[in-house]
Chains A and B, each alone.
Chain A
Amino acid sequence: MTLVDFLQLDLVPMLAAILACVTCGLLGTLLLLTRNSMMGDAISHAVLPGIAAGFWITGTRASLPMVGGAIAAAVVAVALIGLVRRLARLEAGAAMGVVFSGMFALGLLMLVWSGADRVDLDVECVLYGILETLIWPAATGPASLFDPAALAALPSELLLLAGMFAVTVVALLLFWKELRLAAFDPAFGTVIGFDPRPVRALLMLLIAAACVAAFWAVGSILVIAALIGPPAIARLLTERYAAQFLLAALAGGAIAVAGYAVAALIPAALGAAQGFNAAGMIAVMAAVGFALATALSPFRASRRRRAAASRA
């Protein structure tokens, strides 16, 4: 494997995976802290009709209408989940199951009907992502990294992912205190006259947008691993709010690099004809990272104490 090969075939997928996993890790931390982990699952499935509609309108991948469609679909999904919960008096999980599976099925049918599945948005890419297709043929050597013409030929998916990452970081910095309040003590927030709903709505919008961005990298089901894996790992390693975000971002980057390396780089270096599916491997690495973090967690003593206390 030469450097040019790496630049052309592996650099962009790896960057895309890292950007997707770090963005999702940061946003997923908020989901985890607000005890909404399965909401990430629901939204990542439910945005599919929005993505299909956006693709239908523009005919291109990685476009803003697609992000808009996904956000609209996420808003519809959240509203429907609330409605079903209220009318059928169901626990949240059941209401989510109804709404997201229904919307996912609708999205699949829209893809098939619109003929999008024959162009370049197919059911496979919904399931596995398209990391492997994000190539950069314009790269001719390290100099391309500074060559505007070559940089302009980067896949637009990468730019979308970079944009989402920037938006996420800015939103986190702007609403740092508010998000913390909404995550840890919404009741106290209400008492001091702070309405947590706009912040929560903002979070859902960001998650939906991140789902579209990450959709290109890892596909619609494996997004959940990127959303929940890194924050769960970080949660095992720290008790502090800021450290939780930093560790989640680090863990996101780490599972992306490890997953891509094990799936593509190492088999290629060993001379294997074919690697593994990178998106799937990233999800597996999320579980491996969680297992490692469980083993290394500094908080196990307190767990034992708690277990002892519950026995007593």
Chain B
Amino acid sequence: MINADFLAALTFSLGHNAAVVVLGCAAFGLSAGLVGSFVLLRGRALIADVAAHATLPGVAAAFIGATLAGVDPRNLWLLMAGGAATAALGSLAVRAAAATGRVREDAAMALVLSSGFGLGVVLMSVVQSLPTGGQAGLAHFILGQAAGMSEAEAQALMILAAIAAGCALVLFNPLRALCFDEAFAASAGLPVRALDLALTALMLLVAVAGLRAVGLILVVALMVIPAVTARLLTERLSVMAPVAALVGAASGWVGASLSAAVPGLPTGAVVTVTACALFLLALFFSPTRGVIAAALGRAVMTWRIARDHALRGAWEELERKGSGADAPFAEAAIAEAWAWSAARMSAVSLALRRAGLWQRAAEPGFLRLTASGVDAARNVVRRHRVWEIYLTRAGGVRAFAAHRGADLIEHTLPPEVEAEVEAWLETADPDTARLAVPPPVEGARA
């Protein structure tokens, strides 16, 4: 039953009303995601939260004022105008409170957010006692109730989405400069204050528009969550903004459909949880910044470091004994050189055997480097010693510190830096280069 309704709502076939609501919420999600990307990068995520909470007293005051003036208090535009006014006042109040210099901006935000919301709650209890009756659905502005959305309201949300997209397109470059480097934007002659004002205005517009769709508490969710999701997936703003818009629109679409199919679910909560699900997917599976990618990256790094250490240990052991590169050496000697436990040594030993870098020698407990192992070990040792020489000669670092420094950096040295150091070594001290370091291997690289 619920499933059928959900699918019908998703495909806009659950009746005209539901289709309007779903489209409206999707349009809102799109604009919130788009504007949210810039708000997020500008570091204003929590100011958006404050502004959204501060709409409540305006909405309630507009309702009371309209009732007293004899105007229809259910006029949505009037209520939204009231909300926008107090939201703007709230943002100003944060600045004023922070300007006292005694409390920081975060405390000012927390104070304005909660007392603005508190004032709204007080005014709502006044509304309740008005003769026009009941809270008149004002409570729906807090958690969102998209179900009652009219066609005109949904159209307004779509127009908002168009405005947000238009602004983002036209102002893309200036806004990018503002978000990433305000000082640069100012020195490049951009009207920083006007841009900041435009971004704030867009943010307020989204906050007020979100009242009907997701409610004031969760407006910030739809501005921040899609933007952060997109941030996990890309490093480029020109990709991030459209991805955030898409994530926002998808959350609005799916969330509103669910809420239309299951009566009683607060729309804002469903839309937010949908956005969170997308966010969690990105958090785990993002190819560049996801949890899994990070764990894999760490595992690869651990393996590379252990392999390099094992190979260098083998090479140095062979050097110490003065035997040839393919002579057998004791596994225990390597474990001792790196202070590895028996378990760790046997794991490393197995991994290097699997990688074909060394194999068991005839004697028990002894290993022998394979041909590719010899090449790899020579490379590793060369990299380490070249870097050591570079640090002592060019950097003036003492020998022991140079050894430590080389240990820390050799595994992550980019090839172009390595080539540069090699070139420096050739010109600076060709004799040392030839004596202390094993010659480079042609072709093969570790």
With an 8 A cutoff between CB atoms, is A21 at the interface? Answer: no
Q: Is A128 an interface residue (CB 8 A)?
A: yes
CA distance A284 to B289 in the complex (A): 43
Question: Within A111-152, which residues are at the interface with B (CB < 8 Å)?
Answer: 112, 123-124, 127-128
Task: Chain A residues near B46: list those with CB within 8 A.
Answer: 38, 41, 93, 96-97
B237 at the interface (CB under 8 A from A): no
Q: A106-B276, A109-B273 are in contact. Are A286 and B111 (CB under 8 A)?
A: yes
B119 neighbours in A (Cβ, 8 Å): 280, 283-284, 287
Cross-chain contact A290 with B97 (CB below 8 angstroms)? yes
Q: Which residue of A lies closest to B96 (CB)?
A: A294
Q: Which residues of A contact B53 (CB under 8 A)?
A: 221
In the complex, B115 has a CB within 8 A of chain A? yes
| Residues of chain A in range 78-105 having any CB-CB distance to chain B below 8 Å | 83-84, 87-91, 93-98, 101-102, 104-105
Which of A55-63, A154-162, A227-235 sits within the interface?
Answer: A227-235
A235 with B102, Cβ < 8 A, contacts A277-B121, A279-B121 known: yes
Which residues of chain A have C-beta atoms less than 8 A from B114's C-beta? 41, 221-225, 228-229, 283, 286
Whether A277 lies near B111 (C-beta < 8 A) is no
Given A102-B225, A221-B117, A281-B118: A123 and B266 interface contact (C-beta under 8 Å): yes
Taken together as a complex, chains A and B put the C-alpha atoms of A41 and B407 apart, in Å, by 45
Are B276 and A91 interface neighbours, CB within 8 A? no
State how many residues of chain B have any CB contact under 8 Å with chain A.
64
Please determine whether B110 and A90 come into contact, CB atoms closer than 8 angstroms. no
- Interface centre among A35, A84, A277, by most chain B C-beta atoms within 10 angstroms, is A277
**In the complex, A229→B111 CA distance in Å?**
6
- The answer on a CB contact under 8 Å between B129 and A87 is no
Check if A274 is an interface residue, CB within 8 A of chain B: yes
Selected contact of B49 from candidates A32, A40, A97, A297, CB within 8 Å? A97
What is the minimal beta-carbon distance from A43 to any residue of chain B, in angstroms? 11
User: B205-252: which have CB < 8 Å to A?
Assistant: 217-218, 220-221, 223-225, 227-228, 231-232
Kindly list chain B residues whose C-beta atoms are within 8 Å of the C-beta of A179.
none
Chain A residue contacts of B173, Cβ below 8 A: none
Q: CB < 8 Å: which of A90, A112, A236 contacts B264?
A: A112
Q: Which residues of B contact A280 (CB under 8 A)?
A: 117-122, 124-125
A109 to B218, Cβ gap below 8 A? no
Determine the residue in chain B with the shortest Cβ distance to A291.
Answer: B97
Asked if A273 lies at the interface with its beta carbon under 8 angstroms from chain B, I say yes
Residue A176 is within 8 A (CB to CB) of chain B in the complex: no
Residues on the A chain within 8 Å of B102, using CB: 235-236, 297, 299, 303
Taking CB atoms, residues of chain A closer than 8 Å to B221 are 97-98, 101-102, 105
Which residues on the B side are within 8 Å of A277 (C-beta)?
A: 121-122, 124-125
A276 at the interface (CB under 8 A from B): yes
- For A97, give its contact among B118, B124, B142, B224 (CB under 8 Å): B224
- Bound form: Cα–Cα A128–B53 in Å: 14
Residue B40 at the A interface, CB < 8 A? yes
In Å, the complex CA distance between A306 and B99 comes to 11
Is B113 interfacial (CB 8 A cutoff)? yes
* B115 adjacent to A276 (CB under 8 Å): no
Query: Do residues A225 and B225 form an inter-chain contact, with CB atoms below 8 A?
Result: no
**A84-B228 contact given A37-B107, A38-B109, A221-B217, CB 8 Å threshold:** yes
Whole-angstrom distance between the alpha carbons of A16 and B121 in the complex? 19
Q: Determine the residue in chain A with the shortest Cβ distance to B48.
A: A97
Query: How far, in angstroms, from A95 to B49 measured CA to CA in the complex?
Result: 13
Contacting pair B129 A127 (CB below 8 A): no
Question: B279 an interface residue at 8 Å Cβ cutoff?
Answer: yes
Closest 3 CB pairs of A and B: A283-B118, A280-B121, A101-B221
B interface residue numbers (CB < 8 A to A) = 40, 43, 45-46, 48-49, 53, 97, 100-104, 106-115, 117-122, 124-126, 128-129, 139, 142-143, 217-218, 220-221, 223-225, 227-228, 231-232, 264-266, 268-270, 272-273, 275-276, 279, 283, 289-291, 294
- 8 A-B residue pairs with Cβ-Cβ distance under 8 Å, sorted by A, are A89-B289, A108-B266, A112-B269, A222-B117, A236-B102, A274-B128, A277-B121, A283-B115
Known pairs A108-B143, A127-B121, A276-B122; list 14 more (Cβ under 8 Å): A84-B283, A88-B228, A93-B45, A102-B275, A105-B268, A112-B269, A221-B114, A232-B103, A277-B122, A277-B124, A279-B121, A280-B120, A281-B118, A290-B111
